Structure 1
Amino acid sequence: MTTEGAYDGDDFYCDVAIPGRQPLDAVHDDERVLAFHHTRPYWQTHIVVVPKRHIGSLTTATAADEGDLRALFAVVQSVARTVEAECGAAAVLTNLGAYQDSKHLHVHVHSGSRSR
């Protein structure tokens, strides 16, 4: 963390979110998966779903990650179902390569107009 409190590393999830170094508005938290309202939302509704065990990205996942991926996508489905029911629509997105700011697999579930 910088002195202003803005994170400047490359794995916010392993370094800050999962160990609870910053308060989060969690919508799901179990031994494998954390889902929370984004700390700097890009859409009106913006929830991030992340495996607690480090997986670099969707394209670097291996067969050894299968259990964590199943758990992750079960939570993504549940969160997306809730967002769709509450907002009338939902989108599910993950970024890869240069588009991926945090080098830890994470899935955005969002709805509504852009908030920034």
Structure 2
Amino acid sequence: MTEDFYCEEVLSGRTPVRKVLETPNVLAYHHTRPFYPVHVVVIPKKHISSLLTLEEEDNELLLELMNTVKKAAAQVTEEHGACRVITNLGRYQDSKHLHFHVVSGVPLVKD
């Protein structure tokens, strides 16, 4: 995986995605290689490395991002009865671009 899959692949259009929700500054889409039966990724369209690197100037974007996460989570919960909202930091964060996972179901077995 590249350092920033979301900028280099998704936002550039090199990797096509199935959109769930989109605002001027945020994209929610079905994960290209899901780890759960329902797996939505929510990203800001602006490059931000992680939750820990948000600047005060990003506050409006963060509100828009969290509103989109909330809408995706409500949609998944309505359709599947429950969901988790996950973000990763440090060595747990494979792609160095702030993102949230909205997931439901038992994790899929990866070989």
Q: Counterpart in 2 of 1:21?
A: 14
For 1:36 and 1:21, locate their aligned partners in 2 and report how far apart those are by CA, in whole Å.
15
Q: Counterpart in 2 of 1:3?
A: none
Deviates more, 1:40-49 or 1:24-33: 24-33
Percent sequence identity over matched residues?
A: 48
How far residue 17 of structure 1 moved from its aligned partner, in angstroms, is: 0.5
For 1:23 and 1:60, locate their aligned partners in 2 and report how far apart those are by CA, in whole Å.
27
For 1:70 and 1:59, locate their aligned partners in 2 and report how far apart those are by CA, in whole Å.
15
Q: Counterpart in 1 of 2:96?
A: 103
Write the mapping of 1:1-116 to structure 2, written as runs, cut at 5 A.
8-116=1-109
Say which structure, 1 or 2, has more relative contact order (CA 8 Å, 6+ apart): 2
- Which 4+ runs in 1 deviate beyond 2 A? none
Gapped regions of structure 2 (runs ≥ 5) = none
Q: Which amino acid aligns with 1:19?
A: S
How far residue 82 of structure 1 moved from its aligned partner, in angstroms, is: 0.5
TM-score normalised according to structure 2 size: 0.95
How far residue 30 of structure 1 moved from its aligned partner, in angstroms, is: 2.5
Q: Is the contact between residue 49 and residue 106 of structure 1 (CA under 8 Å) also seen in structure 2?
A: yes
Alignment coverage as a number of residue pairs: 109
Quick check: which one's helix share is greater? 2
TM-score normalised according to structure 1 size: 0.91
Q: Name the Cα RMSD after superposition.
A: 0.8
